Chain A
Amino acid sequence: MTIEDQLRQSLRVHADEAPDGRALADRLLARNDATLVRPRRRHDWRTWGLPLLSAAAVGAVVAGIVVVNDNHHQAAPQLPGNSTAVNPSPTNSGPGTALGFGAFGVTMLDAREGWALGHRVCGAVPCPPLPDHASAEDAAVVLHTTDGGAHWAELSSVANAELAGSDKCGAKQPCVSGVLFVDSENGYIYGANASYVTQDGGESWQSEGPADVYAMATAKGVAYRALASPAGCNPPGCSYLLQRKMYGSTTWTSAYSKAISASGSMSSGLQLVASGLDVYAMVYGHAAGGSQTAESTLVASHDIGATWNVLNDPCMPVLQRPGLSEIDSTAMSVAADGTLAVACSPRQQGTNTRGFVETSTDHGETFQGVSGDWFGSAPIVNVDAASATDVCATTEKAVLCTHGDLKSWTKTSTTNVLRFTSATDGYGLAIASDGTNVTSTFWTTHDAGITWQSSDLVPQQASPIPSSSPAPTDSSEPVDHSVADLSFVGTDDVWALTQDGIDHSLDGGKTWTYASVRADGVSQIRFATDDIGYAFGSGLFMTTNGGKTWTMPIKDDVEDVETLDGTVIVLTNPLQQLKIQVAAIGSSDFKTVTLPNGAGSFYGATLVRTRHLSVLKLGYHPAGSIQATPMFISTDGGYTWTERDDPCGSYGNSKGSKINTGAGWEVTTGADGSISLLCELRPVGDKSEQQRVATSTDGGKTFTYSVTTDVTNSGRNNLVTPDAHTYLVSDGQGLLRSTDAGATWNRVLSRYVSNGPSLRCGFETSTVGRCTDESTIWTTRDAGASWTSQPFVGAAAPAPHISVLSTPSPPITQSMSSECGDMLSIQPQPEGDALGHGGRKIIFTNTGEIYCNVSGYPMVGYVNPQTVAKQTLSGYLGGIMKSVTPQEFELAPGDQVSVVVEWANNPSRACPDPGTKDSMFITVPGGSKHTLGGPIGTCLLEVHPFVAGTTGSDS
């Protein structure tokens, strides 16, 4: 073999060792807004540098409460001291609980989700101690809101991190004062001497090491920060280094090639803002000695920090205006539309001085002055533009906003810090203290600052959104563990909605762990994976971290939710106006889709899904006459729908005068892709209704009908069909089963209850299914022929808070549809050996009568010691070379796929003693474990993906 051939072979083999691209793509796209991406929130990626916030902000925080430092850019955040309370006291005080919350910073991703950094305020009543903190009052505590600030849940205290300004915060102590989140999961707490990072939405934090972080900003998923340069910050001459961290990278790299400083090498602070591709950093000049030319330095990048240019101090031209002198840049912001706004404040108060706001719509090249007569000589401590036409600015006393003409300003609220997250949504923060009690008030606007609403910023236990930290239970109180709903991710992976929370079981319901508290108004759950799930009822809540935290992407009442094939379909408000919304699983970016010809008149709707097939059946009012209502089919995950006639109505029509009318109410799907409806028929002249089961195995195009069932006159019954030939109907006493198209029925489950809750049943495969009422789970593994019961015990107690840095979850590409599983027969064959390598080819044949899917790899290995083959795309003997990911195959009955298993025969450094085993085990996705006789090597064992046909290779 030539060196070139060896090279080709080595490169091909080692290319397979590259890390999984899906995980990196997921991280890269996590901040993007496309629906294909793994489920993250969509937002404008816009927050602001917090040091200024903590300066202007926290100094100013204080609405005339605390003396505002003239040097507000660098003003060390101070815990509120003596002053006059201007806000009502929080209402949740009580023994052992914090009286209030002193907020140091707030960052919002959008109008709903945000985080607050601050400290507990305990007053005369000791707060509960916090681990790793000498004082509960000094500890940095993070709150989280997902409802626009109406409620805040306490997520975590940052280990050892003290709030800047607290007694424990010194030169060698980790002190934090700012908070910034890049997305729903990735965020930072930072400040003097410390920087912490979270990857789980603030549940846990890890130190990024000693870092004197002055400012942070983020946009487009890129995080920026400013550090003091190595030259130090000997007052008043700080200069700063700019760094950026790209898309989920763990490494900060320099963004600007040199340290930046203000004119004269003296500065009073730095601000960093970002929006879209634009990043601006302004180092504010220092007015020491009354210098009129305390010029600020503004640098700008319009390519996420790759290249930069230096701009003039926007406030310098203001000095040219008649009657003005000594005006300094004091704040800036950049809006979602790119508008750059800079505040120019008079250095001294007096009758002939006034502040201005300058705005630029050409990336800072030119500015236009917005009238400042309204500000008088009060320093402008904060400015933010919602857009080019809506700008707000704060003095120490009030927020003033201008809309449209940029000339007239209106006083709007008493908040001092304000930030806009979009052209209309913004928020503000104000803190007040009376020396003992501290209150933080959160302000929001949804009309670009015209009107504002306020709410207390205090941690609450009873958040409408499940918080990450389950509320501790009182052992004296009995825990109600009755089951409200079950959701299956796999045959043994079960989620349960109980009266007091959401529990999770990985052993089919034998044991449970507490996963989350239960939100008010939640009545059902659907979990798509171990991480991603939905709870719904009064709104749709979504978690992407196994219930630790939740967001609320839909506020309307939700009737039904189904997940399959990578999408989630949500039905809202069916009683008034049916609305169908579809998104990629885990994404908040829902798209509203319409039905052909509209929904028409109906009562309620049922949504079921199986094997690339979604079925939406509209119902008729149960108190009225039987009416046929349409059924809709989607084969693309719910984005487009095709209308089908009600098969039950069609049946009635086909009987002419014998059947007056008919309608399908109960619709279900089998694991084999079949669709079944329970038809209610009303024969002419006979007031008693008949019931038949209509079943389709061609996606709802044609139906066959069972004989009349013998479960009539027992009210509306629930129908479940593990496959097209097996019917299970629940009645008040249990389950009836028929395998002969309804001719005969056997009672397979008896509950011996009267007027108890009805059974709710579902099948995960064609054989494994479960039913539950409020207290018991029944399981079948033979398509409903026999059932075993176990009481639902639920989690013994809420799980302790798990403080672990989460790792990125895999992207959601796995189909939730049924798989071939045990429908595949397995035929091992020898594979020709290559030099130093042995292998076997295994052929799989669909022995079922229906189509099924198979994808990825089978699990292959040997026992004693338990060893599983490494899954690689290709090797010496086979695999896939024409693609970079395993393919999915839909197998018709009789179709075949194959894989190659190979191993090394020659001794090598990694495996000095190669040997063989006499048998191997193999498990296809969704199927049982099989043992095959014959040799299998023990060295460098690999299995390659399924390929079409019998060759084990696509080359």
Chain B
Amino acid sequence: MTEGREFTAFVRANTSALLRTAYLLTGSAGAAEELVQDTLSRLYPKWSKVEAADAPLAYVRRSLANNFVNSRRRMSSHELVVEFLPERADGIDANGALDDRDEIWRLLVTLTERQRAAIVLRYFHDLPDEEIAESLGCRVGTVRSAISRGLAALRSAEEARR
């Protein structure tokens, strides 16, 4: 059960950090929780591989970002989601309680998943483009393109708002 203890210790220590990233990716508390637990659930059977990584948190974070992009992509075609229980209310309205700084936040959700993930990894986690590309399973050029397009979209929306 050593593996189980390591998994437990990791979850205890890092769930908050992962949730922060997941929240920035999804913009919703409920979706963030689902993303984190789905990511951890997928990784749990091969946890020894996570443990063997140089930085397990970075490994899981990359998986989380990748899971975010891919889960959005495959949800309509592969996942059969049966929701019998209503989700708990987030308690947070991502579009509410906005002041100036929140305009950027509101615009973020209009970006594509890949653009948003690339922006979160660069501007929140300060990851180099190479690591972002590895996380998202794409080329470095694709990352730079996604960020560039994302920033352009934000600038454009910001200027239009003014």
A pairs with B:
yes
The residues of A with any CB-CB pair to B shorter than 8 Å are 3-4, 6-22, 24-25, 27-29, 32-34, 36-37, 195, 197, 206, 208-209, 211, 220, 222, 241, 243, 246-254, 257, 277, 302-304, 306, 836, 884-885, 904, 906, 908-911, 940
Q: Which residues of A contact B134 (CB under 8 A)?
A: none
In the complex, the chain B residue whose C-beta lies closest to that of A876 is B101
5 interchain pairs (CB within 8 A)? A15-B23, A19-B32, A21-B19, A249-B37, A910-B99
In the complex, the chain B residue whose C-beta lies closest to that of A25 is B15
Is residue B54 contacting chain A, with contact meaning CB distance below 8 A? no
Q: Which residues of B contact A32 (CB under 8 A)?
A: 4, 7-8, 11
Q: Which residues of B contact A836 (CB under 8 A)?
A: 99-100
Is residue B42 contacting chain A, with contact meaning CB distance below 8 A? yes
A37 to chain B, nearest CB (A): 6
Is residue B151 contacting chain A, with contact meaning CB distance below 8 A? yes
Please tell me if the beta carbons of A18 and B45 are within 8 angstroms of each other in the complex: no
Q: Which residues of B contact A4 (CB under 8 A)?
A: 123, 151
Q: Which residues of A contact B99 (CB under 8 A)?
A: 836, 904, 906, 908-911, 940
Further 8 A-B residue pairs, CB within 8 A, beyond A885-B16, A906-B100: A18-B23, A21-B14, A22-B15, A24-B19, A246-B38, A247-B37, A249-B37, A252-B82
Please tell me if the beta carbons of A253 and B81 are within 8 angstroms of each other in the complex: yes
Give the contacting residue for A9; candidates B40, B97, B101; CB below 8 A.
B101
Please tell me if the beta carbons of A17 and B23 are within 8 angstroms of each other in the complex: yes
Is residue B138 contacting chain A, with contact meaning CB distance below 8 A? no
Instruction: Give the docked Cα–Cα distance between A304 and B44 (Å).
Output: 9
Is residue B158 contacting chain A, with contact meaning CB distance below 8 A? yes
A562 to chain B, nearest CB (A): 24
B43 to chain A, nearest CB (A): 10
The residues of B with any CB-CB pair to A shorter than 8 Å are 1, 4-5, 7-9, 11-12, 14-24, 29, 32-34, 36-38, 40-42, 44-46, 78-85, 87-88, 90-92, 96-102, 104-105, 108, 119-120, 123-124, 151, 154-155, 158
Give the contacting residue for B15; candidates A12, A28, A222; CB below 8 A.
A28
Please tell me if the beta carbons of B85 and A248 are within 8 angstroms of each other in the complex: no
Instruction: Give the docked Cα–Cα distance between A127 and B154 (Å).
Output: 68
Please tell me if the beta carbons of A306 and B85 are within 8 angstroms of each other in the complex: no
Give the contacting residue for A10; candidates B12, B17, B41, B102; CB below 8 A.
B102
Q: Which residues of B contact A195 (CB under 8 A)?
A: 84
Q: Which residues of A contact B23 (CB under 8 A)?
A: 14-15, 17-19
Please tell me if the beta carbons of A15 and B124 are within 8 angstroms of each other in the complex: yes
Q: Which residues of B contact A8 (CB under 8 A)?
A: 123-124
Please tell me if the beta carbons of B37 and A884 are within 8 angstroms of each other in the complex: no
A254 to chain B, nearest CB (A): 4
In the complex, the chain B residue whose C-beta lies closest to that of A227 is B82
Q: Which residues of A contact B119 (CB under 8 A)?
A: 7
Residue from the set A211, A249, A277 with the largest chain B CB neighbour count within 10 Å: A249
Q: Which residues of A contact B44 (CB under 8 A)?
A: 220, 304
B71 to chain A, nearest CB (A): 11
Please tell me if the beta carbons of B12 and A246 are within 8 angstroms of each other in the complex: no
Instruction: Give the docked Cα–Cα distance between A18 and B25 (Å).
Output: 11
Please tell me if the beta carbons of B4 and A254 are within 8 angstroms of each other in the complex: no
Q: A195-B84, A251-B34 are in contact. Are A25 and B11 (CB under 8 A)?
A: yes
Give the contacting residue for A3; candidates B40, B83, B155; CB below 8 A.
B155
In the complex, the chain B residue whose C-beta lies closest to that of A908 is B99
B145 to chain A, nearest CB (A): 16
Q: Which residues of A contact B12 (CB under 8 A)?
A: 25, 29, 36-37
B112 to chain A, nearest CB (A): 16
Q: Which residues of B contact A252 (CB under 8 A)?
A: 81-84
Please tell me if the beta carbons of B98 and A21 are within 8 angstroms of each other in the complex: no
Instruction: Give the docked Cα–Cα distance between A277 and B42 (Å).
Output: 12
Q: Which 5 A-B pairs have the closest CB atoms?
A: A21-B16, A34-B8, A18-B23, A908-B99, A254-B80
Instruction: Give the docked Cα–Cα distance between A206 and B34 (Å).
Output: 21
B128 to chain A, nearest CB (A): 15
Please tell me if the beta carbons of B84 and A884 are within 8 angstroms of each other in the complex: no
Instruction: Give the docked Cα–Cα distance between A197 and B119 (Å).
Output: 40
Residue from the set A20, A22, A27, A28 with the largest chain B CB neighbour count within 10 Å: A28
Residue from the set A7, A37, A247 with the largest chain B CB neighbour count within 10 Å: A7
Q: Which residues of A contact B17 (CB under 8 A)?
A: 21, 884
Instruction: Give the docked Cα–Cα distance between A909 and B80 (Å).
Output: 38
Please tell me if the beta carbons of B101 and A6 are within 8 angstroms of each other in the complex: yes
Residue from the set A4, A16, A36, A251 with the largest chain B CB neighbour count within 10 Å: A251
Please tell me if the beta carbons of A209 and B41 are within 8 angstroms of each other in the complex: no
B15 to chain A, nearest CB (A): 4
Please tell me if the beta carbons of B29 and A11 are within 8 angstroms of each other in the complex: no
B60 to chain A, nearest CB (A): 13
Q: Which residues of B contact A25 (CB under 8 A)?
A: 11-12, 15-16
Q: A10-B104, A10-B105, A22-B16 are in contact. Are A241 and B33 (CB under 8 A)?
A: no
Q: A36-B12, A253-B81 are in contact. Are A15 and B24 (CB under 8 A)?
A: yes
Please tell me if the beta carbons of A884 and B16 are within 8 angstroms of each other in the complex: yes
Instruction: Give the docked Cα–Cα distance between A149 and B21 (Å).
Output: 46
Q: Which residues of B contact A18 (CB under 8 A)?
A: 16, 19-20, 22-24, 29, 32
A400 to chain B, nearest CB (A): 33
Please tell me if the beta carbons of B42 and A306 are within 8 angstroms of each other in the complex: yes
Please tell me if the beta carbons of B15 and A24 are within 8 angstroms of each other in the complex: yes
Q: Which residues of B contact A220 (CB under 8 A)?
A: 44
Please tell me if the beta carbons of B100 and A908 are within 8 angstroms of each other in the complex: yes
B131 to chain A, nearest CB (A): 17
Q: A3-B158, A18-B23 are in contact. Are A10 and B16 (CB under 8 A)?
A: no
Q: A7-B104, A10-B105 are in contact. Are A19 and B33 (CB under 8 A)?
A: yes
Q: Which residues of A contact B22 (CB under 8 A)?
A: 18
Please tell me if the beta carbons of A37 and B8 are within 8 angstroms of each other in the complex: yes
Instruction: Give the docked Cα–Cα distance between A208 and B84 (Å).
Output: 5
Q: Which residues of B contact A13 (CB under 8 A)?
A: 101
In the complex, the chain B residue whose C-beta lies closest to that of A250 is B85
Give the contacting residue for A241; candidates B36, B80, B151; CB below 8 A.
B80
Q: Which residues of B contact A247 (CB under 8 A)?
A: 37, 40-41
A747 to chain B, nearest CB (A): 51
Q: Which residues of A contact B151 (CB under 8 A)?
A: 3-4, 7
Q: Which residues of B contact A206 (CB under 8 A)?
A: 85
Instruction: Give the docked Cα–Cα distance between A248 and B97 (Å).
Output: 30
Please tell me if the beta carbons of A306 and B82 are within 8 angstroms of each other in the complex: no
B27 to chain A, nearest CB (A): 8
Q: Which residues of B contact A304 (CB under 8 A)?
A: 41, 44-45
Q: Which residues of A contact B108 (CB under 8 A)?
A: 10
Instruction: Give the docked Cα–Cα distance between A156 and B14 (Å).
Output: 38
Q: Which residues of A contact B24 (CB under 8 A)?
A: 11, 14-15, 18
Q: Which residues of A contact B100 (CB under 8 A)?
A: 836, 906, 908
Instruction: Give the docked Cα–Cα distance between A884 and B15 (Å).
Output: 10
Q: Which residues of B contact A9 (CB under 8 A)?
A: 101
In the complex, the chain A residue whose C-beta lies closest to that of B9 is A36
Give the contacting residue for B124; candidates A11, A19, A211, A248; CB below 8 A.
A11
Give the contacting residue for B83; candidates A33, A251, A885; CB below 8 A.
A251
Please tell me if the beta carbons of B37 and A33 are within 8 angstroms of each other in the complex: no
Q: Which residues of A contact B83 (CB under 8 A)?
A: 250-252
B146 to chain A, nearest CB (A): 14
Instruction: Give the docked Cα–Cα distance between A241 and B81 (Å).
Output: 12
Q: Which residues of A contact B36 (CB under 8 A)?
A: 24
Instruction: Give the docked Cα–Cα distance between A243 and B81 (Å).
Output: 9
Instruction: Give the docked Cα–Cα distance between A21 and B15 (Å).
Output: 5
Please tell me if the beta carbons of A884 and B41 are within 8 angstroms of each other in the complex: no
A58 to chain B, nearest CB (A): 25
A585 to chain B, nearest CB (A): 14
In the complex, the chain A residue whose C-beta lies closest to that of B93 is A910
Q: Which residues of B contact A885 (CB under 8 A)?
A: 16
Q: Which residues of A contact B84 (CB under 8 A)?
A: 195, 208-209, 211, 252
Please tell me if the beta carbons of A6 and B104 are within 8 angstroms of each other in the complex: yes
Q: Which residues of A contact B34 (CB under 8 A)?
A: 249, 251
Instruction: Give the docked Cα–Cα distance between A211 and B99 (Å).
Output: 45
Instruction: Give the docked Cα–Cα distance between A4 and B104 (Å).
Output: 10
Instruction: Give the docked Cα–Cα distance between A9 and B105 (Å).
Output: 10
Q: Which residues of B contact A303 (CB under 8 A)?
A: 45-46
